[in-house]
C-alpha cells in the first residue's frame, strides 16, 4: 500500500529526473548562507588563509572560521531547509502528489509511531554507547558546556529533524517506490537506494579519516536497515524516527572528534573504531526489528519479497512521450 500511494501521482520518467535536478539545485542554493558567512569571516580575520579554508572544507570544523559549533550546525542545516522546500514544490507541482503520501498510505501521519521509533532507537544507542564507554573510559571525556548545550538541544529539536527527514523522504519515500515502477518488486529498490544512501555520505569527513570502503560498510548497512523497516512497516514513520534519533544522539549526547557533525555534545570521544561502530549498529538494528516485528505484527520478512502489484507498476516509463506529462 505504501509503494502504491507514494507513486499514485504523475510518474513520467522525466518528472523523476526533473525532481532530482530540482533537489540538487535546492542543495546548491542552500549553501548560500554558508558561503556568505565564510566570505565575511575571511574578510574579518586575516589569519583565515586559503589553506585554512581548504582545511575547513575537508573537516567542516567551524572553529577554523572563528565560528561556534552551534552557528556552524545552523549553517549546515540551512542547506537542507532550502533543499526540503525545493523537494516539496517538485512533489506538489510536478508529481501532483500530496506530500504525506511519501510518509504513509494512511489518511494521517502516525506521530506516535515516529516517536516510538525515535525513543526505541535512542535507548538502544544509549545502551550500546554506555557499554563502550564503560569498556574504554580513556576514549571518552565529558564535554558539558551548559549554555552551548541548551542551545544545541533547541537546534536538535527544531531544526536537525529537517535534515534527517529530507534524506528519508527523498531516498526511501520517493526513490524507493519510484524504482519499483521499473523493477516491479521491492527488494531491488531496497538494495539500490541503500547503496545510493551510502554514496551520498561518501564526502563526509569520516571517510577520509577511516577510508571509503570502511565507512561504506556503515552507511550502506544503515541504509539497508532504514529501507527494511520502511518496507516491513509499509510506511516511512519508523525510519523517520530512527534517523532523527541517530543524528540527535550523535549531535547532542555522544559525538567524536572528526565527525561530520562538530558539536558541543555532552560526551565526546577522541577516537572511534569504525568496525565496532558498524557491529553495534547491526546489533541494535536486529533488536529494533525484533521488537517492532512483535509490536506491529510484521510477520517476518515476507513483505520485502512480495511483488509490486501490476496496477502500480504500470506507468509511463514504458511510454516516454511529453504528452503523458499533461
Q: Tell me the pLDDT of the chain averaged across its residues.
A: 93
Instruction: Report whether 34 contacts 75 (CB < 8 A).
Output: yes
Check whether 311 has a pLDDT greater than 70: no
Please compute the mean of the pLDDT values over residues 45-53 and round it to a whole number: 96
Tens digits of per-residue pLDDT, 171-208?
999 999 999 999 999 999 999 999 999 999 998 888 88
**Residue scoring higher pLDDT (261 or 307):** 307
Q: Using CB atoms within 10 Å of the CB of residue 326, give its burial: 0 to 12 exposed, 13 to 18 middle, 19+ buried.
A: exposed
pLDDT of residue 310: 54
Please compute the mean of the pLDDT values over residues 108-127 and round it to a whole number: 98
Check whether 63 has a pLDDT greater than 60: yes
Instruction: Give Cβ neighbours of residue 213 (< 8 Å, ≥ 6 apart).
Output: none
Tens digits of per-residue pLDDT, 244-258?
999 999 999 999 987
Neighbours of 219 (CB within 10 A): 21
Comparing 10-19, 158-167, 249-258, 313-322, the range with the smallest average pLDDT is 313-322
What is the chain's alpha carbon radius of gyration, rounded to the nearest angstrom? Answer: 21
CA–CA dist 87, 83 (Å, integer): 6
Check whether 324 has a pLDDT greater than 60: no
Check whether 313 has a pLDDT greater than 70: no
Amino acid at each position: 500500500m505504501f509503494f502504491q500511494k507514494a507513486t499514485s501521482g504523475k510518474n513520467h520518467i522525466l518528472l523523476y529526473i526533473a525532481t532530482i535536478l530540482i533537489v540538487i539545485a535546492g542543495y546548491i542554493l542552500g549553501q548560500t548562507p554558508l558561503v556568505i558567512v565564510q566570505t565575511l569571516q575571511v574578510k574579518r580575520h586575516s589569519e583565515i588563509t586559503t589553506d585554512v579554508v581548504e582545511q575547513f572544507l575537508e573537516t567542516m570544523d567551524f572553529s577554523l572560521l572563528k565560528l561556534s559549533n552551534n552557528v556552524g550546525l545552523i549553517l549546515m542545516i540551512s542547506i537542507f531547509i532550502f533543499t526540503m522546500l525545493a523537494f516539496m514544490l517538485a512533489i506538489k507541482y510536478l508529481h501532483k502528489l500530496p506530500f504525506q503520501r511519501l510518509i504513509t498510505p494512511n489518511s494521517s501521519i502516525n506521530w506516535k509511531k515516529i516517536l516510538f521509533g525515535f525513543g526505541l532507537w535512542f535507548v538502544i544507542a544509549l545502551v550500546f554507547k554506555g557499554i563502550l564507554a564503560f569498556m574504554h573510559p580513556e576514549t571518552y571525556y565529558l564535554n558539558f558546556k551548559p549554555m552551548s548545550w541548551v542551545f544545541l538541544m533547541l537546534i536538535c529539536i527544531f531544526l536537525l529533524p529537517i535534515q534527517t527527514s529530507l534524506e528519508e523522504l527523498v531516498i526511501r519515500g520517493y526513490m524507493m517506490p519510484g524504482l519499483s515502477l521499473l523493477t516491479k518488486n521491492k527488494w531491488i529498490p531496497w538494495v539500490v537506494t541503500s547503496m545510493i544512501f551510502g554514496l551520498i555520505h561518501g564526502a563526509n569527513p569520516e571517510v577520509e579519516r577511516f577510508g571509503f570502503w570502511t565507512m561504506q560498510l556503515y552507511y550502506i548497512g544503515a541504509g539497508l536497515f532504514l529501507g527494511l523497516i520502511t518496507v516491513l512497516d509499509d510506511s516511512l514513520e519508523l525510519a523517520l524516527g530512527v534517523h532523527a534519533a541517530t543524528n540527535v544522539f550523535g549531535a547532542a549526547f555522544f559525538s567524536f572528534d572528526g565527525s561530520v557533525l562538530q558539536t558541543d555534545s555532552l560526551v565526546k570521544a577522541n577516537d572511534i573504531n569504525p568496525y565496532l561502530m558498524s557491529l553495534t549498529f547491526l546489533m541494535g538494528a536486529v533488536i529494533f526489528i525484533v521488537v517492532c516485528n512483535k509490536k506491529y505484527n510484521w510477520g517476518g520478512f515476507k513483505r520485502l519479497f512480495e511483488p509490486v502489484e501490476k496496477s502500480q507498476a504500470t506507468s509511463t516509463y514504458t511510454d516516454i512521450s511529453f504528452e503523458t506529462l499533461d
